[in-house]
Amino acid sequence: MATIDRRATTLALAHALSAAERGLAVIPLSRTKLPALRSPHRDDPDPRPCHGECGRFGHGVYDASTEPLRIRELFAAAPWATGYGIACGLHPHHLIGVDLDTKSDTDSSAALRELALRHLFTIPDTVVVLTPSGGRHLWLSGPADVVVPNSASRLAPGIDIRGAGGYLVGPGSRTEHGVYGTAPGTSRLAPAPCPPELLRLLLPAHTSRARHPTSSAGERQGQGLVQFVLAAHEGQRNTRLFWAACRAYENGIGPRLTAPLVRAAVRTGLTEREARSTIASAARMTAPSTRHP
């Protein structure tokens, strides 16, 4: 039985209602950061896909709402909730969350800066939510006609993306590890538009960019991936090499970039055998049979 902290629930509801006033659809969360309401179909002998058509609560982000009455009903049904989630991808903000993790062996903030330098974009002033573990969530607004998928460490090691079907823990939420809050000076900002160059990186390869880049573009990208591997510190080397090799194979430059990536990895301290094994794993992971044509 969940322990009820009425003060935490009252505060979470107040924060959720405030977010809803800004056009952000919300759901109640438990201390574990999971939706507070369990699926009403969990005990069905033959559960069928349901996104709330049954009229009951417990469908995760599909319960999300900006309507004060419905939000109050959601929290009333989950009196153990101590936080709230903000659904991504919905009108009017079409929110995209950039989750900069601190638990990985890579400096995710530095990785995002490297991406920005390599692809010539800047992160605009926007809402920044600070997590209890020291991470950061950047809120960006996407176009209404573009669906950004959720991903984990695809953009770069330690950077997760919350898109359509995902949610972000809202500021003011209390979890097992502490309270989420906004960074100073960002609480009143609206989610800034996602830079087009970054948006292209967030979309699946088959929709965001050509499969085989031009020679000059491929050469520039290859140099950037090699530099990404060269910048690895101890504990990051395999992760960075694998990520760079995946991106190379996704963009049709994997075979010709293998030798430069191996040389770069060896310079960081990996053996040639380790480097080639990691690149081979990346090639298998991104083989045509596992990707869209």
Residue 179 scores a pLDDT above 80: yes
Residue 1 scores a pLDDT above 50: no
Contact 88, 163 (CB under 8 A): yes
Residue 181: Cβ-neighbour burial (10 angstroms; 0-12, 13-18, 19+)? middle
Report residue 214's pLDDT band, with 50, 70 and 90 as the boundaries: low
d(C-alpha 191, C-alpha 100), whole Å = 16
Mean pLDDT of the chain: 87
User: Amino acid letter at 133?
Assistant: S
Report residue 208's pLDDT band, with 50, 70 and 90 as the boundaries: very low
Q: What is the pLDDT of residue 292?
A: 37
Q: What is the pLDDT of residue 44?
A: 84
Q: What is the pLDDT of residue 135?
A: 94
Q: What is the pLDDT of residue 219?
A: 63
Q: What is the pLDDT of residue 205?
A: 65
Q: What is the pLDDT of residue 118?
A: 81
Residue 166 scores a pLDDT above 80: yes
Contact 87, 25 (CB under 8 A): yes
Average pLDDT over residues 30-34: 96
* Max mean pLDDT range (136-145, 154-163, 206-215): 136-145
Average pLDDT over residues 30-58: 89
Residue 289 scores a pLDDT above 50: no
- 60-94: pLDDT as tens digits: 999 999 999 999 999 999 999 999 999 999 999 99
Q: What is the 3-state secondary structure (H, E, C) of 65-133?
A: ECCHHHHHHHHHHCCCCCEEEEECCCCCCCEEEEEECCCCCCCHHHHHHHHHHHHCCCCCCCCEEECCC
Q: What is the pLDDT of residue 140?
A: 98
Tokens at 243, concatenated: 């990520």
Average pLDDT over residues 201-229: 66
Q: What is the pLDDT of residue 25?
A: 96
Which of 102-106, 178-182, 192-196, 217-221 shows the lowest per-residue confidence on average (mean pLDDT)? 217-221
> pTM for the complete prediction?
0.71
Q: Cβ atoms within 10 A of the Cβ of 96, count?
A: 26
Residues in the chain: 293
- 236-268: pLDDT as tens digits: 788 888 888 888 888 889 899 999 999 999 999
Residues in a beta bridge with 174: 179
Q: What is the pLDDT of residue 2?
A: 58
Q: Supply φ then ψ for residue 182, to 5 degrees.
A: -85, 145
Average pLDDT over residues 32-47: 90
Q: What is the pLDDT of residue 199?
A: 93
Which of 41-50, 107-116, 157-166, 189-198 shows the lowest per-residue confidence on average (mean pLDDT)? 41-50
Q: Cβ atoms within 10 A of the Cβ of 291, count?
A: 14
Q: What is the 3-state secondary structure (H, E, C) of the chain?
A: CCCCCHHHHHHHHHHHHHHHHCCCCEEEECCCCCECCCCCCCCCCCCCCCCCCCCCCCCHHHHCECCHHHHHHHHHHCCCCCEEEEECCCCCCCEEEEEECCCCCCCHHHHHHHHHHHHCCCCCCCCEEECCCCCEEEEEECCCCCCCCCEEEEEECCEEEECCCCEEECCCCEECCEECEECCCCCCCCCEECCHHHHHHHCCHHHHCCCCCCHHHHHHHHHHHHHHHHCCCCCCHHHHHHHHHHHHHHCCCHHHHHHHHHHHHHHHCCCHHHHHHHHHHHHHHCCHHHCCC
